[in-house]
Amino acid sequence: MIHKYKLFDMNIVLDIYSGAVHVVDDCMYDMLDYLLEPFTAERECPSFIVDEMSKKYSVDDIKESYNEICELVKNGQLFTDDCYEEFAKNWNKKSVVKALCLHIAHDCNLRCKYCFAGTGEYHGKRGMMSAETGKQAIDFVIANSGNRKNIEIDFFGGEPLMNFDVVKEITKYAEEQGEKHGKVFRFTITTNGILLDEDKKKFINEHMSNIVLSLDGRKEVNDFMRPKVNGSGTYDDILPKFLDIAESRNQTNYYVRGTFTAYNKDFANDVLHFADLGFKQTSVEPVVAPETEDYALTADDIPEVFEQYEKLAEEYIKRWKSGNWFNFFHFMIDLDQGPCAIKRLSGCGAGHEYLAVAANGDLYPCHQFVGNKDFLMGSVKDGNFDKKISKYFEDSNIYTKDKCRNCFAKFYCSGGCSANAYNFNGDINKPYELACEFEKKRVECAIAIEAAKKLG
């Protein structure tokens, strides 16, 4: 299976099952339209191809292109077979739990209009996680992580800084227990910054490998969607703190992360606003919301969103070339040393490798399922969790999703977000189409950026 597209004056060809990325000239690009899979190399270019293409290209170029295509096929770089499907069918993953998202606070000091957690309470009662529950979560992950060494803990909310003493206690407990049990804990915290101060910054910088700073971009964009409880804006309060903590972490191991909605479809300007402010690690993602919401993105928005990704990618390349680099999460791609095929088959790990712990200790497949009783898996308090739900998620991979079968992006997105699939289509194996469209465009842009960098 191949995918070819043109972007930024390059003809890009992806060989899906080998992961090869090629930039080809016009002659080879056009020739690929005549070649069907499974491809069988002939001694020389078939005459009907020569006849057709010689209207536009020289016969020498046509024959050379054909020979080079045959060479790529021989080297396993083009029209490669799918060798993963059989493997996926008989896959006994034996997953272990390696990451927890701890809902430190089911409460928030902002009233963001698009929050999937309601306004922090996850459609249940407001409440804080106790240190005891947090420690039980640490015991739970140690007990269920098998031989896995690296364990990730994300302090999430609501707003985790509203319950920071507990964050500190859990962190210290995890570090102590990690040493005893041969585990390395890596901590992330996601915050809106309102309560960020010097003490918290110091603790976060000493203990956390990543911090996600929630901000949507330009002041008017941010303040419209992310007001305080009293309705006032947050940008002016938060920005200096975020700039400060980003600098204090040497502009690495953090993301300033926003959401774009129907109210800022020109989101490339928000990403560039971050970059202009001096942030080097950025992420701005499409809102996920039912079409009934006024801020939701819909299929009608696809052309504009695509245009924005291209605009952003073009500027991204320009800034990289001029030495004024910044990183955009969704354009990060490593063509040589990205994740292995096994990881790409199986996706994010929600429900079996990655679980969310609600403030009261209840376990769910991921943060987006918290509060949905159909997906309540158990509790860290007794340490048991529902293996049937876990298996349902474990068995899901790109080969259990029909929509992924002929999609070129399947090894880049791994079949998409299970929660989005469930929320829109009622089945974790039926991906949410709008997210698929955006993802495909991002993958195309990300690869084109790498191509532009490599080709100078």
Partner 1 sequence: MKHVKTLNKANLKESAVMGGCGECQTSCQSACKTSCTVANQKCENAHE
Interaction of residue 412 with partner 1, rule CB under 8 A: yes
Interaction of residue 1 with partner 1, rule CB under 8 A: no
Choose, by CB under 8 A, the member of 164, 185, 274, 354 that binds partner 1.
Answer: 354
Interaction of residue 108 with partner 1, rule CB under 8 A: no
CA distance 186 to 208: 7
Q: Where in 224-253 is the site for partner 1 (CB under 8 A)? A: none
Q: What angle do CA 140, 143, 146 make, to 5 degrees?
A: 130
Interaction of residue 454 with partner 1, rule CB under 8 A: yes
The contact pattern for partner 1, residues 284-303, with x = CB under 8 A and - = no contact, is -xxxx---------------
Choose, by CB under 8 A, the member of 192, 283, 379, 396 that binds partner 1.
Answer: 283
Interaction of residue 443 with partner 1, rule CB under 8 A: yes
Burial class (CB in 10 A: 0-12, 13-18, 19+), 224: middle
Burial class (CB in 10 A: 0-12, 13-18, 19+), 229: exposed
Question: In the complex with partner 1, which residue's Cβ is closer, 381 or 430?
Answer: 430
**Chain centroid, CA 372 distance in Å:** 22
Stated length of the chain: 456
Interaction of residue 215 with partner 1, rule CB under 8 A: no
Interaction of residue 336 with partner 1, rule CB under 8 A: yes
Interaction of residue 98 with partner 1, rule CB under 8 A: yes
**Region near partner 1 per CB under 8 A, out of 35-43, 47-55, 135-143, 335-343:** 335-343
Interaction of residue 84 with partner 1, rule CB under 8 A: yes
Q: Which helix (H) or strand (E) holds 190?
A: strand 184-191
CA distance 341 to 346: 9
Question: In the complex with partner 1, which residue's Cβ is closer, 234 or 414?
Answer: 414
CA dihedral 304→305→306→308, nearest 10 degrees, is 90
Interaction of residue 437 with partner 1, rule CB under 8 A: no
Interaction of residue 149 with partner 1, rule CB under 8 A: yes
Residue 219 has phi, psi (to 5 degrees) of -50, -50
Interaction of residue 390 with partner 1, rule CB under 8 A: no
Interaction of residue 358 with partner 1, rule CB under 8 A: no
CA distance 24 to 199: 54
CA distance 301 to 178: 47
- Do 166 and 130 touch, CB atoms closer than 8 A? yes
Choose, by CB under 8 A, the member of 219, 338, 395, 433 that binds partner 1.
Answer: 338
Question: In the complex with partner 1, which residue's Cβ is closer, 72 or 128?
Answer: 72
Tell me how far, at minimum, the Cβ of 421 lies from partner 1, in Å: 9
Tell me how far, at minimum, the Cβ of 212 lies from partner 1, in Å: 6
Q: Where in 50-69 is the site for partner 1 (CB under 8 A)? A: 61, 64-65, 68
Q: Which helix (H) or strand (E) holds 286?
A: strand 281-286
- Do 281 and 258 touch, CB atoms closer than 8 A? no
- Do 284 and 272 touch, CB atoms closer than 8 A? no
Question: In the complex with partner 1, which residue's Cβ is closer, 91 or 235?
Answer: 91
3-state SS assignment for residue 97: coil
Question: In the complex with partner 1, which residue's Cβ is closer, 233 or 338?
Answer: 338
Interaction of residue 445 with partner 1, rule CB under 8 A: no
**Token representation of residue 428:** 């974790």
Interaction of residue 9 with partner 1, rule CB under 8 A: no
